[in-house]
Amino acid sequence: MTQSYRICLLPLDERPVNTRYPQMLAAIAGVDLRLPPREIQGLGRTPADVEAVREWLAAEAPHGQGAIVSCEFLGYGNLINARISQDSAADVICRLSVLERIDPFCPVHAFSLITRVANADDCVEEPLYWLQWGTRFYRFARLTHRAENGDLSDEETSQLVTLSAELPADLKADWLNRRLRNHTVNLALMDMVARERLTSLLITSDDTSAYGFPSRERDWMKGWQALVGQSLATRLSMYPGADEVGSALVAKLVSSRDGRTPRVWIDYAIHEDSSLIAPYEDRAIRETVEGQIHGCGCALASSPDTADFVLGVATVSPRRTDWRPEFLEEDRSSRTEAYIAFLERLALYQSSGQPVALADVAYPNGSDPLLAELMLTDGHKLDLAGLIAFGAWNTAGNTLGVVVAQAVCALSHPEARHSEQQKLFLTHRYLEDYAYQSSIRREARAFAQEQYGRRDPDPESDEQVNGVSAFIEAALHKHLAQLQERGVGIGVEIVEGSTRLPWRRTFEVDFELTIKA
């Protein structure tokens, strides 16, 4: 299939989840995806060259069939700088105004985030004072929102008073002023949509929860959406997510290109758990699932027989936290039977000729080791290599968006499902989400601790970063061989020396796969 359909993408930032994933998915669907030149993309806390990005987009977009635009990237330079920069609302809105001039010539699908409140004393992606005050700011925001709803006990009311007095006034003002700016920018984007100057706008909640300032701001915007009516109802969507949005919008444009709306049947591993709220989200997982399906340009099917594909969802653990080794035996006794039945149902769909995708959202930041163990045994007939998509990589929204996007791209044209590009991305997902995030990352941190006295390499030391990267690549080779024994990634190999730590930490990894010559 010729690559005549061109999309321009301004990613959320330069990390592989925001650049490599959309590129690999676009390749499956036969789409020519264009990104800004690497030298103007920025890196971590260093923002992209926003003026150069504006010029690139204005020159490139009119030659494409669609533009996917992160407003954090265009407005602030990247996601981190949306949280830490001192730009004014007027500065950012002025930069975003280029979208109004582009949309008449190229449909603009913009996305913007409701800024998170990170529940950690960690300043890698936050203002520097988050290292000391982060968890207290999080609790302050959560209690403030609940107080507005009359939902605090006397003890919690006292805690809120104490927190408000503890937080330094200058830091609180800095943080709240930035939130006000970001909310103002989101309102300006809603205004563009209401005036039909953007084809669509997606506002997602980044690492959110049922209570807190992000949920509060989301409700304010939903109020405007309901009041304004039709123009916002049809062009604006809101749901939890962040790093998956570029991939999801690639799928949406692929469906638009093909003139179709893929129908999806959902099968939950434990149906009653579909009402649980996943970690870092603000609504029941079934609402997140449906939001991501619609975000990828799909719709719900009325039955498995009428579906274009089945989406199997390994539902959220009632623990609602990251997986820990001590969970395994209890999970084995409480979830094994349900998981085996789930895998058998998915295998039956496959045997009837129904394409199947699998999203594991039991725990954030990697596959549920119990489910992975069961998948890699011979006790079921599910064809792992025959899945049209698999994912388990971060939050529930992140995972679901990329899984549905891959399914859409894999079914976009007759050759896609069995293409080399599809095999590479499916193998990449197993290696990163199952092998790295669920296993190798812990091993790499233990290696770093033993070799360098710290669980992550010193980001200033090339020797340490390269040493950990080499350890990870060797482990990836071993896991790839194991996956190939189960039929996954046959003919695929890791490009030697391609493994790297994009932000010089072990939280995320990047590596390149190729088909053996």
Q: Is residue 360 part of a domain?
A: yes
User: Which of the listed residues 241, 256, 271 is the one where a domain comes to its end?
Assistant: 256
Strands 299-300 and 513-515: unpaired
326, 472: one domain: no
Q: Specify whether 456 is located in the same domain as 468.
A: yes
Q: Are residues 64 and 204 in the same domain?
A: yes
Residues 222 and 280 in one domain: no
Structure tokens that stand for 317 in this block: 């653990």
My answer on whether 279 and 335 are in the same domain is yes
Strands 356-360 and 299-300, by their bridges, are unpaired
Could you tell me the residue range of the domain that residue 222 belongs to?
A: 5-117+180-256
Q: What is the pLDDT of residue 3?
A: 47
* Rounded Cα distance, 283 and 208, in Å: 9
Query: Which amino acid would we find at residue 491?
Result: G
207, 228, 256 — which closes off a domain?
256
* 462 and 332 within one domain: no
* Residue 356 and residue 374 in one domain: yes
Residues 324 and 227 in one domain: no
Task: Report the alpha-carbon distance of residue 48 to residue 35 in Å, rounded.
Answer: 13
The span from the CA of 376 to the CA of 477, in Å, is 17
> Whole-angstrom Cα distance, residue 41 to residue 12?
10
- What lies within 8 Å, CB to CB, of 16 at 6+ separation is 502, 508, 510
Indicate whether 139 belongs to any domain.
no
Q: Is 342 helix (H, G, I), strand (E, B) or coil?
A: helix
Q: Which residue bears the tokens 């499916």?
A: 426
Q: How far apart are CA 385 and CA 382, in angstroms?
A: 9
Distance between CA atoms of residues 498 and 421, nearest Å: 18
Domain boundary among 203, 228, 256: 256
Q: Tell whether 157 is covered by a domain.
A: no
Q: Are residues 458 and 343 in the same domain?
A: no
Please tell me the total count of domains within the chain: 3
Verify that 286 and 337 share a domain, yes or no: yes
CATH code of residue 269: 3.40.50
Asked if the structure places residue 493 within a domain, the reply is: yes
Could you tell me if residue 167 is inside a domain?
no
Would you call 232 helix, strand, or coil by DSSP? helix
Has residue 171 been placed in a domain?
no
Instruction: Note the pTM of the prediction, 2 decimals.
Output: 0.95
Domain for residue 45, yes or no?
yes
* pLDDT on residue 379: 67
Q: Are residues 388 and 463 in the same domain?
A: no
Whether 480 contacts 468, CB under 8 Å? no
Residue ranges of the chain with per-residue pLDDT less than 70? 1-3, 379
Q: Are residues 228 and 308 in the same domain?
A: no
Q: Is 69 helix (H, G, I), strand (E, B) or coil?
A: strand
By the 8 A CB rule, do 26 and 250 touch?
yes
* Residue 424 within a domain: no
